[in-house]
Amino acid sequence: QVQLQESGPGLVKPSQTLSLTCTVSGGSITTDYYYWSWIRQPPGKGLEWMGAIGYSGSTYYSPSLKSRTSISRDTSKNQFTLQLSFVTPEDTAVYYCASLSAGSSWWEPDEYDYWGQGTQVTVSS
């Protein structure tokens, strides 16, 4: 059973960079045809796909967040990381990492195979 666990600071100041790590167990982030995503849910709003890193290391970003988002990975630790720069209070959300297989749509939450439990990040001075 694949398990994902988000970690990182729960409070970030405006204009700083938010950095979160997802640690994967029970499976490898280099498994062929698997993609590893970051998704967030602001208070009172729906889920928003932010971006993903694929099994080969290729990255994919939401057009609305591309200029501020970077996703990387450490295969030796079986982790992938989200960095979101120049955060504002509007970036306050529960952040999730999740995985899905090739052919699935990362815009559709139901198509994800595994999810982390989510971590609350608040942007405030």
pLDDT value for 106: 83
Rounded distance, CA 99 to CA 106, Å?
A: 9
pLDDT averaged over the chain?
96
Q: Residue 92's pLDDT band (boundaries 50, 70, 90)?
A: very high
Could you report the per-residue pLDDT of 48-78, keeping only the tens digit for each?
Answer: 999 999 999 999 999 999 999 999 999 999 9
Greatest Cα-to-Cα distance within the chain, rounded to the nearest angstrom: 42
Nearest to 20 by CA among 29, 11, 28, 31: 11
**Percent of the chain having pLDDT more than 90?**
92
**Mean local confidence (pLDDT), 104-114:** 90
Is the model's pLDDT at 103 over the cut of 90?
no
**Mean local confidence (pLDDT), 79-84:** 98
DSSP state of 110: G
Beta pairing, strands 119-123 & 11-12: parallel
**Percent of the chain having pLDDT more than 70?**
100
Is the model's pLDDT at 107 over the cut of 90?
no
